[in-house]
Structure 1
Amino acid sequence: MPRKPRTPCTIPGCPELTSGGRCPTHEREANRTRVTPGGSSYGRRWPRVRAAYLYAHPWCVLCGRTANVADHFPVSRRELAARGVVNPDAFECLRPLCTTCHNRETAKHQPGGWAAEKAPKAPPF
């Protein structure tokens, strides 16, 4: 049975062929620059904190459906850390949301990415 041809590394300009994604060299570089290698910037405690919070608060506060996202509110986790909050993952800094409401709220309050690039620029006055 024929195999799928190997594709180039996803880093622009890298000629290495891979079975998908980055080449081993660029994967090592990405892991070195990551806050917690193999994890996220939230750290190792976050999955337990999130699970405990959603167990204690099972319903979305906006629509009443089953919550599956522990959203930092009223400001983001990054802003809480910048303000010097000792524990930005404390229950009083979170709110339970369903995925639909979380995506809508994030798009509304943290516009970026494609939405920011396609938004019409205001004329300078």
Structure 2
Amino acid sequence: MATERQDFARKLRKHSTTPEDILWSLIRAHRLDGLKFRRQVPLLGYTVDFLCLQRKLIIELDGAQHDAERDYDAARTQEIERHGFTLIRFRNETILNDRDAVIAAIREAAGTSR
């Protein structure tokens, strides 16, 4: 039986944003250096945008709404990192306009830089 958090994650997957769709197309199905990413994953009481469990790497995409949520995002990041995860954030505009830089940053954070 699905939990409320799982239902919420499922809803987010069904209604993803354009930047989420673009990033997902770049990293899904082991496309990025063989890493397995999942999207909209319940973790530690939050729902994270993208998770690579084998590298304990989380990718978050931030739209305009995050400008008003900086304190919440900072506390959330600290909590997640306390559990040994690395969390990197990208603005939606970066995903839309500089995919090469996004992929390079993900590779660096995952330790698979080329």
Settle same-fold status: TM greater than 0.5.
no
| Rg (Cα) greater in structure | 1
User: Greater strand percent: which structure?
Assistant: 2
Tell me which of the two structures has the higher relative contact order, counting C-alpha pairs closer than 8 angstroms and 6 or more residues apart: 2
TM interval, short-chain normalised: under 0.3
| TM-score, scaled relative to structure 2 | 0.27
User: Greater helix percent: which structure?
Assistant: 2
